[in-house]
Structure 1
Amino acid sequence: MASPTSLKLDDDLKGRVQQLAEIRRRSSHWIMREAIRQYVEREEKRETLRQETLNAWDEFQATGLHVTAEEVENWLSTWGTDEELPAPECHK
């Protein structure tokens, strides 16, 4: 369910939104909703990545298990070839 929300824009930004809306044959409302939706989705993905990174760092700190960049690069260089290697094993 959608509910109304107030949003204050400076005149310049409001004009830019209106101009883009006209060019795209959309309403200013649609442009703003789409911009907010895309921003929220992007930031949610960034936050998920940040949390996964922090969790991986915590796990490394606790176990010392890792894979070197060289090992990953060697593995990735075989992707899509007949000699594709399995993922490298974590080690200390």
Structure 2
Amino acid sequence: MTAAASRPVSIKVDEEMKARLNRLAEARQRTPHWMMREAITQYVEREEKREAFRQDALKAWEAYRATGLHLSAAEADAWLDQLQQGNDIDPPPCRG
């Protein structure tokens, strides 16, 4: 969304939160408006990533339920240990 396409939105915060926001904005030499936009942007980006992770987990669960294919925790750990050591190896084959 470009700046020209931005639309004002209002939110209600109590006086204590408003004062905290103003103090932090002053300390950071930013406006309260900038601080709120930054907070919302970071929150939405984090929650989008969290939701994508959740959706991937649900897809993986459904794939497991449909096929029964899996790795044991020990197999996965051994593979991840190899990757961490810099060995670019393929994952072990899934078993049913």
State the identity as a percent.
48
Out of 78, 87, 92, the position equivalent to 1:88 is 92
State the one-letter code of the partner of 2:9. Answer: T
Q: TM-score, normalised by structure 2?
A: 0.89
Correspondence for 1:22: 26
1:77 aligns with 2:81: yes
Partner letter of residue 67 of structure 2? T
Deviations 1:42-87 (A, max 9, x none): 1111111111101100000000000111001111112254765421
* Residue identity in the other structure for 1:87: P
The count of residues paired between Structure 1 and Structure 2 equals 92
Structure 2 matches for 1:19-58, cutoff 5 A? 19-58=23-62
Distance 2:87 2:48 in 1: 37
In the alignment, residue 81 of structure 2 is paired with which amino acid? Answer: S
Q: 1:88 to 1:39 in 2, by over 3 A?
A: same
The question of whether the paired residues in 2 share the 8 Å contact of 1:66 and 1:90 is answered with yes
CA RMSD of aligned residues (A): 1.4
Task: Look up the SS of the partner of 1:79 in the other structure.
Answer: helix
Q: TM-score of the superposition, structure 1-length normalised?
A: 0.92
Matching of residue 13 in structure 1 with residue 17 in structure 2:
yes
Structure 2 counterpart of 1:4: 8
